[in-house]
Structure 1
Amino acid sequence: MNDLQLTLLIVGGGGIAAMIAYNWWQDYRLRKQASERFGETDQDPLLNTGSVKSGFERTEPGFSGSQDFAPSTEFDESSLEASFDAPQNDSHLQNEPQMTIDKRLFADFIIRFDEEKDANTWKTLVDGLEQINRKRIIYSASPDTAESAEILWFKASPYSGTAKSLKASVQIANRKGPLSSIEFSEVLGKFKRFAEDQNADIEFPEMKEVVAKAETLDQAAAALDTLLGLHCLLPETVQESTAVDMLAVAGWVQKGHQWFLSDESGTLASMVIHNAPGKRLLSFSIDVPNSAEPIKALGDIVTVCHGMNEKFGAPLMDDSGRTLSTQAIEGIYNQLIERVRNLTDSGFKPGAPVARILFS
């Protein structure tokens, strides 16, 4: 072996050793970052469930198929209740306290002014950036510098008096999907420009952490999301006015081309009448996470359709057009009860503010 071969061998061996050492260092560094962010457990960092499969795809809500989901109590409806216990300055008593923002649903961007500002300062920003891809942005103002966790925030619009801090809470997930890095960058760019114009400082979270959290939340929500559709097929000989009268007696109220079943908590279910040659279809829908009483709504739908079936021979069908037997309806009840239980145990009680925000 001559000197050239020996030199090449040493150089090649050194290069391989350096590559192995670099790869080991990269693996160690990434594992350390993951450990610091999520801890040493294999549990999901947001919902304490098993790790989500990487091939998970968001699907339309429904009862077809099944998805395993270990419920969590981390989402707490009470976290959305407004807090009035903090001391208030007399000059701000006329302002409305902001509800406590659930940090698991929102990412906070805080702008601190060098000097006190009034509502005209942020009016253009608030009016022009109310949402990003249907995800809400909630603005709060405070006469304090927002350096304490116990600071009392007021709704930024309308707002009387002056403020030293403005907070923008950006929703990180809804039915449109998770907050993406592009959406994060877009809102951050606008907040930064506003802060620069006002000679203010801005505090914002790490984009990668927010996006990862949003994706985890979105996958968990997709596993819980449920939209139940049922249909009552009326013969064409039955006048629409006759069906309308029966719906009104059962408590359904018409608004535009839709009908709604509601109570003091809000909408429980909706219905649309489709007219086609030879038949008239009443299509009922229960948006389970947004309905305060989805099980009651199902019972009311079954009752009104049973009455129409007895009187006109109008069968109750599922989305596939199959006539539902008593046993099938009982199966739907059981599945719905299970979905409601999973939502409630996870902190997304159907009809609660936290559920209506996430499943908007």
Structure 2
Amino acid sequence: MNSSLLLSLAITGGLVLAVIVAYNAWTLHRNAPKKALPPDTHGSLPGAGDALTEPTLRQEPSLDADLGPEAAAIYGGLDRGPEPHEHAVDANDALRMPAPLPMLERRPGLDPLIDVIAVMQLDHQVSGDAALVALPPTRRAGSKPFAIEGLNDATQHWETPAPGQRYRSFQAGVQLANRMGALNEIEFSEFVMKAQGFADAINAAPDFPDMLQEVARARELDQFASDHDAQLMFMLRARQAAWSPGYLLQNAARVGFVVGSMPGRLVLPSSAPGMPPVLTLGYDTQAALADDPDQSAIRDISLSLDVAQVHRTEQPFARLRDVGAALAQAMDGVLCDQNGQPLPAMAMDPIAADLELLYDQLDARDLSAGSVLARRLFS
């Protein structure tokens, strides 16, 4: 009798132990970071076409107004931002290519709209080689970009001095403002010293504008830039199982991202070569550099848009929304604001209207998003 009872208890205990071991194994398997599918496995995002079944990650190409209260929970610090539209989303939508960017815009280089410019008159020609020797060793005055250009005697175009060319006039410039703030009196004085040193070396007579007027102009431009600077960030958070780097890269490639120049960074390239990326995807750098990436667990990623750096014809916010929705569906994630709070669809519509207004205000100031001057000012 006792032996039968002990045997029953032993069997019951063994069964309970087996159940516990099986449950723990199942839990570990369920919560283990999701891994990328093998190369010969034709996985695809919902609604994706055959072109998305075998993505290849490329390398990132190298680069040559107050918003409404609805957006407040999404932005932090200088961050202000854009919005998605209500329509069905699939991976093909996320990859749609916008219309070609307009080519008519201000030329690169110094521009009186955002630069202090001092013209240097000469009574003789100066070779590009001599000008290069006379250039100051640094290209900044404080935190502001500093540059010297020459009027090419053959082309009659302003350009950075180049060997073998001849110049009869030069101009020096320093940027009025950037994301570090407005040009101040100390930076203006450094600009004058650098420009005067170059002028003395080539026997030129510089004509400097009034410091107080230029500093006041810098503060006004900086105020405008601060009021119209929009940097939007969303977060995609795993609902249950975490993601391995390989799994993330595989899914991101399917919606157009390529490997960025830094670990833990992917970018959605612009439709125009040499332009800043449309969107940036960020994840944990340590996971990106791990010796065994399959064992690294990523529970959230960031999707960000620097509005002033991307032309509105790229439809960057619509693409941000589409990419976020496609990745959330494919990877079992939830789209959140930068504080980790889930984003309801109703929060998106007001942001779109605010963003269109911001674009219009930048256009009116001749600082259109994605233009040369906007990319310089908002940097």
TM-score range, shorter chain: 0.5 to 0.7
Deviations 1:173-218 (A, max 9, x none): 1111111111111121122233334443221111111111111111
- Unaligned ranges ≥5, structure 1: 1-58, 65-76, 82-98, 145-150
Equivalent residue number for residue 61 of structure 1: 78
Which of residues 255, 264, 278 is equivalent to 2:271?
264
Equivalent residue runs for 1:152-191 within 5 Å: 152-191=156-195
| Letter of the structure 2 residue corresponding to residue 242 of structure 1 | Y
Instruction: Spell out the pairing of 1:1-360 with structure 2 (5 A cutoff).
Output: 60-63=77-80, 80-81=106-107, 101-126=110-135, 128-142=137-151, 152-234=156-238, 235-255=240-260, 256-257=262-263, 258-265=265-272, 266=275, 267-274=277-284, 280-293=299-312, 296-360=315-379
User: Please, which runs of 5 or more residues in structure 2 have no aligned partner?
Assistant: 1-75, 82-102, 288-295
Q: Distance in 2 between matches of 1:313 and 1:117?
A: 64
Give, as a single letter, the amino acid of the residue that structure 1 aligns with 2:127: D
Tell me, in whole angstroms, the C-alpha distance in 1 between the residues paired with 2:254 and 2:307.
24
SS in 2 for 1:128: coil
The residue type equivalent to 1:355 in the other structure is A
State the superposition RMSD in angstroms: 2.8
Q: Spell out, residue by residue over 1:154-182, the C-alpha distance to the aligned partner (whole angstroms, 9 max, x if none).
A: 31321434323221122111111111111
- Whether the aligned pair in 2 keeps the contact of 1:253 and 1:259 (CA below 8 Å) is yes
The DSSP-based 3-state class of the residue aligned with 1:319 is coil
Tell me the distance in 1 between the aligned counterparts of 2:140 and 2:255.
37
- Please list the CA deviations of residues 217-242 of structure 1 after superposition, one character each: whole Å capped at 9, or x if unmatched: 11011100010000101244433322
How many Å separate the matches in 2 of 1:153 and 1:131? Answer: 23
Question: Aligned equivalents of 2:340 and 2:371: distance in 1?
Answer: 32
Matched AA of 2:229:
D
TM-score (norm. length: structure 1): 0.66
| Contact 2:270/2:314 (<8 A) preserved | no
Deviation of 1:294 after TM superposition, in Å, equals: 8.0
Contact kept, 8 Å, 1:119 with 1:157, in 2: the verdict is yes
Higher relative contact order (CA 8 A, sep 6+): 2
Aligned partners of 1:191, 1:127: CA distance in 2, in Å?
Answer: 8
Identity between Structure 1 and Structure 2 (%): 22
- Aligned 8 A contact 1:110 1:166 in 2: yes
Equivalent residue for 2:12? Answer: none
The amino acid of 1:80's aligned partner reads: R
Runs (4+) off by over 4 Å: 275-279
Is the contact made by 1:317 and 1:324 (CA closer than 8 Å) also made in structure 2? yes
Residue range with higher mean Cα deviation, 157-166 or 185-194: 157-166
Using the TM superposition, give the Cα deviation of residue 152 of structure 1 relative to its aligned residue in structure 2, in angstroms: 3.2
The TM-score normalised by the length of structure 2 is 0.63
Structure 1 190/63 Cα, relative in aligned 2: closer, same or farther at 3 Å? closer
- Is the CA contact 1:79–1:101 (under 8 Å) kept in the aligned structure 2? no
Query: What's the CA shift string for 1:90-148, capped at 9, x where partnerless?
Result: xxxxxxxxx5743121121222334322123221343613222343333222367xxxx
Q: Does the 8 Å CA contact 2:136/2:194 hold for their aligned counterparts?
A: no
Residue identity matched to 1:162 = R
Number of residue-to-residue matches in the alignment: 267
Does the 8 Å contact 2:245/2:298 carry over to 1? no
